[in-house]
Chains A and B, each alone.
Chain A
Amino acid sequence: MQGAGLTDRRRHKRIRGGRATQKKSEAGRGEEGESGNPSARASPPKPGRRGGGEKRTVEHGFPNQPSSLAHDPKLRLMAIATKSGAVKIYGAPGVEFTGLHKEAATVTQMYFLPGQGSLLSLLDDNSVHLWEINQRNSYSYLEEIRTLTLPGRLGFDCANSPSITRITVILLKSCCSMACLGTEGGGVYFLDLPSLQLLDGKTLFQDEVLQSLPDDYKCGKALGPVESLQEHPTDPDKILIGYSRGLVILWGQVTRSVANLFLGNQQLESISWERSSRTFVTSHSDGAYMVWPVNSSKCKTQPLTSSIPYGPFPCKAINKILWRTSETGSPFVIFSGGMPRASYGDRHCITIMQGKVQVTLDFTSRVIDFFTVHNIDPEQEYDNPTALLVLVEEELVAVDLQTPGWPTITPPYLAPLHSSAITCSYHISNIPVKLWERLLCAGKQQNPPHSAVEWPINGGKNLAPEPLHNELLLTGHEDGSVRFWDASGVSLKSLYKLTTANIFQTEADHNEGFPQSGEEEWPPFRKVGCFDPYSDDPRLGIQKISLCKYSSQLVVAGTAGQVLVMEFNDEKSEQKISLSSVDLLQDREGFTWKGHERLIPKSGLVSFASGFQPSFLVQCIPPAAVTAVTLHTEWQLVAFGTSHGFGVFDYYRQQAVLARCTLHPNDSLAMEGPLSRVKSLKKSLRQSFRRIRKSRVSGKKRLTPSSPASKVQEANAQLAEQDGPREVEVTPVQRRIEPRSADDSLSGVVRCLYFADTFLRDATHHGPTMWAGTNAGSVYAYALEVPSREKWMEKSAEAVLGKEIQLMHRAPVVSIAVLDGRGNPLPEPFEVSRDLAKAPEMQGSHSVLIISEEQFKVFTLPRVTAKTKFKLTAHEGSRVRKLGLMSFPSVASDDYSENCLVCLTNLGDIHIFTIPGLRPQMRYDCIRKEDISGIASCVFTKTGQGFYLISPSEFERFSLSARNITEPHCVVGLEGSRDHLSPVTSPHNNLQGSPKMSQANGTHKLQSKEECNSLGAADGMLEDLQLPLSQTPLDSPNSSADITLDTTGDLTVEDVKDYLPGMLECVN
């Protein structure tokens, strides 16, 4: 095995040797001195070799399906856990930790051991897990230390009576050496920390409590599950235990006796102490809360006060209540729920009350949990809460409790990417400072900070260096908005939001006159948060974005064929929208569009805030969704394509330059519009969803098949499978083998558009060209006549068809790029004229790289003869989904970099190829192939990174480059030293190498080889050895016993060809 690895490595070396020579001859720099040093040497030609190659670095956005929240007031950290078992800890911006439970079970509760950098989590499979933030190489990271599943009651099998010992609540004692576990059966267990050992002798069963109850309260009924456990604020020996039936006891641990009894009769939901410990407050299922006095009298039957805030009609339960005293006035009472059942029972609300002041925060999604940031110094008399943090299902909302009016604080992370569903994304790196500042400024004006208070969760220290470049991630949304995110660092920050909906007349305009919330309204609702999944009009959805960072011009194109050219304006303006429509059908007979209508732009003057303002609107006819868009700001041209054809528009002189129909005469589906298309695909969609659902469930399962929760999930999944029609199981899945034909439906869809200054018509004159590729494997190349700047007004731009290429394999053309004489991609508009990029080599012959779903091909220009090719699908059975041309800078040298072609396939793996040689370099597993939305959402940066959605609300960021890695580097200072027991119970802890080694929802392929690679320096060697092993399937049908193996079959002519250029360069 090792031998095989070595051979392969040598092969790589040889290639590399050849390429190094090539490098030398081109760049004129000697490399001989480095030949002894494999890591320095190997880095440039094999991008991303370091540290396991493709590396997931950080997750941006908001965790999907959060299920619990925890706060460490001492370290000023916050933790959010999810239904898929992920744990994420946040501190100051840039301080982030991610962990993933092995069991893909819901994390129901989490508690920090204050100041210890430890976290206790409870899963819904009734297991308790202890996590620690530890340090390695001066960076902190999160690891799971040990776990405990509560055993069944003595004499009972755990499996038979799981509910008795099912943990309902956990209390961590302030001394951090013990945890109390309340259970379904009413018993309270005690757990030693951090060893997670059950202290058997201390367990408090209900029988013991029942003995001290007056007989008339007992009346033969059980007390029910433990609903709340709260430590006495001043006497750590005493804990308040609340039972579901309503009974609350103050229990002395040392004396093992009941100090006080509070005989409540209403079903209990939660308890909160008052700081002074003289009173506590309980909340109940009928929407009431009661204040109980704690004094010498042992048994209380009546509370001090009792009130139902939203009565008198029946109310829902108050799930959680907090009581916080304030120096400045009445205490704060903060609770969730309790709304009048009939009128507002469906609202997700949290009420803040201070004396007479009351606000009902109205969220758009379910409240998961909340906490206050307040004074924890025991010497102080008051809580003085400064902020309230609320975790709702789709976002995190912070409320400033110091400032009158309780404004919200914008969190510096956990950006709700999905406040409206993401429909497309676009990344652009190296933003010029000028545009960056203008964007920041416009964003501030748009979103003036409500509160001057600083973000209260600011523990830990970010050690990551300041990002060298400003990077923008643009997300297009269903509601027609485009959000600009600062993607330079670990935390994704919102910079600016562009709305296009206000340009069009939408139905929302008509019901603008709905009643504003009046003063007298009761309850005093206040809308908070920005999650708004409802789109007024699906036609507004953004499909494609293109931004020119030098000219600050932007094109956004949408679902109803709208192509908006926008320009950045620092001032507000009021303008009329100039528009033009382009008929892409070109009088083609026999087609009627049955889809949606085009959007009607607003007439008259429309006012726009500073930022991107529309300079021109082009509407495609028929108004099908725009499938490709590109912008050339130097030529002032925009090109756009739909399923019917493509067009080029001169937005400076506001003239159509070209319109071309790409429809095949037999393509009827293209005309029916999106709605009926959905109908015709309904069956296959349903099936693929079923497949996704199946794979989601199975993908989540990692280890521990014994875990009861996973068993339940499995059973559920099976049930879900059986719910569907059974014919799926009866007929085996079969696939038809038939070549693509010319008249396949939707063949006219324009997949890519590209502007290039190159040689199209003859080898001596280069000029502007425009390239378009379609679903049917056709490429159209147009020569453009763009008048020079001086003659701009006299002459108009013209387009002349230069070439039409029909790829014989007819696969959709995904991307087109022109490579210059040196084989490098052409620079972007303005890059050369502003001295930001090297001028392209116009001497040597150019070539065009055409990438279809199945093959990569390089053709010479202008003759269009095939030069090199790589048939991905014929070899691997995978198809290209996403593509990027990346530049990989060398780790060893600043001024050396290589351009590579990076593609993500439908199987979720990433392939890297050289250009223009198209030699395969690397292959990584990246996304699970079942995660179709993840694959569809992937965007590559030009510097070797990428993003994809791991849930509707989270981007996973990964890096293929050894040079450009964005990942958390942070440290958390702990208070004192922790009891350090060697972590014996956790066999996997040594696998957790970097701060970010696992992912939130299990959407990726598991890479064991990556886990073995720590941050060590010599791991490049390891990588070399491991790579070939993962690449070839070991078990082949031909290797079975009855067959003689044909080894020569492995070597194809293409292999030989691939080696030849490198060898020749060697000779030269």
Chain B
Amino acid sequence: MIKTHHRTPSRSLETVEVKSKFGAEFRRFSLDRSKPGKFEEFYGLLQHVHRIPNIDVLVGYADIHGDLLPINNDDNYLKAIKTANPLLRVFLQRTEDADYSAFGTDTLTRKKNVLSNVLRPDNRKKPPIAISLPRDFRPVSSIIDVDVLPETHRRVRLYKHGSDKPLGFYIRDGSSVRVTPHGLEKVPGIFISRLVQGGLAESTGLLAVNDEVLEVNGIEVSGKSLDQVTDMMIANSHNLIITVKPANQRNNVRITRTSGSSGQSTDSGTSHPTFVASQHVVQNFHSEEVDSDEETDIVIEGNSEPQHIPVAASTSASVMSLTKSDSDHGLTPNGSIASSEGNTCTLIAAMKVDTVEKEDLNKRSMEEDGMVITL
């Protein structure tokens, strides 16, 4: 629910003043802080107030440190609303000529330079690479739990589901030196021994050869054999979280709490730590969305008597069960039931055809209409 007002200073605590800039034009309106609504609605509103209904724009805002940060999903939209004090400065750019380098830390203060660089044509060696914003990607990896882990450790999450790439790494036995009450002790450990070129592990840049593996999905590997750790990793391979002690300790994540926009955070929270991170941090998504700890098995029902059991009834039942599993496990991408159902259906449809073929071979009368899908 979005309400638009023109300057109601008396209610400044409850409302957010929005000053939106597109090109040279400014628009001002206000939002109810308690009911910010969804990003889609906000986006529509922006298009409406600027009268640019058919132009794709990138939305950015200036946070309290003066950084230009993107607004492109519910998550960072809510964040922007929450941190507005009370003014929210919004900048719109056309998608076609968006300057992505503008986003990030210190971007607003640097902006003049950036702009001057951009404006000076002779300085423009490389044309900007057209990459889309994080929401157009599927996450492949992330650093998590930075606030609870010691700085020497790194917890990396690899999302196999979202990628066609192989995980692409190998582990080996080794020994590491550990500080104990009795002094330094050599203890057996598990290490990353090889990264496959072009594999997921290598492409993240978060894992490297000779990194010591300390935990797999929250379970310590000490005392476990190489084969055990291998099996644990493969069993968790769809959503692998490994805690490593990087061999190269120079790129460690350091928590910079002064940036203020992060509170206590773990991977499951909606707010994310702001850190001066290594080259690769992808965090702009709902972690629950991909937190498919519960991978769902596919059930294909064969029904030989379609005339007796109404298909519609079964379908509704299946949708019900789908919704249920949704709420249980938060499986669907972007929280959209409809789209997830669509995806699953296409997936199942492919399998269905396959099954039907087999059934035909079996000389069993299996009618295609009779196939009901549940998740």
Contacts and interface: CB of A to CB of B under 8 A. Distances in A.
Given A658-B362, A1035-B223, A808 B228 contact: no
Interface string B292-307: 0011111111111000
A734 B228 contact: no
B171 interface: yes
A879 B230 CA distance: 11
B36 interface: no
Contacts of A877: 224-225, 227-232
Interface string A856-891: 010000011110000101111111000000000000
B219 A801 contact: no
Interface stretch (A164-172, A671-679, A735-743, A939-947): A735-743
B150 interface: yes
Contacts of B215: 1037-1038
Q: Is the interface of A mostly helix, strand, loop or mixed?
A: loop
Contacts of A660: 358, 362
A1043 interface: yes
Interface in A827-864: 854-855, 857, 863-864
Given A735-B226, A1037-B214, A865 B374 contact: yes
A1041 B295 CA distance: 37
A1036 interface: yes
A737 B220 contact: no
B299 A803 contact: yes
A1044 interface: yes
Nearest to B227: A735
A804 B300 contact: yes
A463 interface: no
Given A733-B172, A737-B170, A739-B160, A806 B234 contact: no
B65 interface: no
B8 to A, nearest CB: 45
Interface residues of A, number: 61
Contacts, number: 175
A733 B299 contact: no
Contacts of A801: 302, 355, 359, 364, 366
Interface in B98-135: none
A802 interface: yes
B222 interface: yes
Given A739-B238, A854-B235, A863 B374 contact: yes
A473 interface: no
Interface in B208-252: 212, 214-215, 217-238, 240, 245
B173 A661 contact: no
A1033 interface: yes
A1042 B179 contact: yes
Interface in B270-316: 294-304, 309
A659 B358 CA distance: 11
B299 A738 contact: no
Contacts of A1036: 220, 222
Contacts of B324: 865
Interface string A630-658: 00000000000000000000000000001
B362 A1043 contact: no
Contacts of A871: 235
Contacts of B240: 737
Given A1040-B178, A1049-B218, A804 B302 contact: yes
B178 A1037 contact: yes
B174 interface: yes
Nearest to B151: A1042
A866 B294 CA distance: 10
B220 A1037 contact: yes
B16 interface: no
A806 B171 contact: no
B169 interface: yes
B14 to A, nearest CB: 36
Interface stretch (B40-48, B187-195, B334-342): B187-195
Contacts of A761: 303
Interface in A1023-1051: 1033, 1035-1038, 1040-1044, 1046, 1049
A739 B221 CA distance: 19
Contact of A874 (B166, B236, B374): B236
Contacts of A445: none
Contacts of A907: 228
A586 interface: yes
A659 B218 CA distance: 44
Contacts of B187: 1035
Nearest to B229: A877
Interface in B161-178: 166-174, 178
A869 B245 CA distance: 32
B229 A1046 contact: no
A802 B227 contact: no
Contacts of A1043: 150, 153
Nearest to B219: A875
B174 to A, nearest CB: 7
B148 interface: yes
B361 interface: yes
B152 interface: yes
Contact of A863 (B219, B297, B321, B366): B321
A828 to B, nearest CB: 27
A809 interface: yes
Contacts of A511: none
Nearest to B232: A877
Given A732-B172, A801-B355, A863-B374, 10 more contacts: A658-B362, A735-B230, A803-B301, A806-B300, A873-B232, A874-B235, A878-B231, A1037-B222, A1044-B150, A1046-B148
Interface of A: 586-587, 658-661, 732-740, 761-762, 783, 799-809, 811, 854-855, 857, 863-866, 871, 873-879, 906-907, 929, 1033, 1035-1038, 1040-1044, 1046, 1049, 1052
18 contacts: A732-B173, A734-B172, A736-B170, A737-B169, A739-B234, A800-B304, A801-B359, A804-B301, A863-B321, A864-B374, A866-B294, A871-B235, A877-B224, A906-B227, A1035-B223, A1037-B222, A1040-B179, A1040-B180
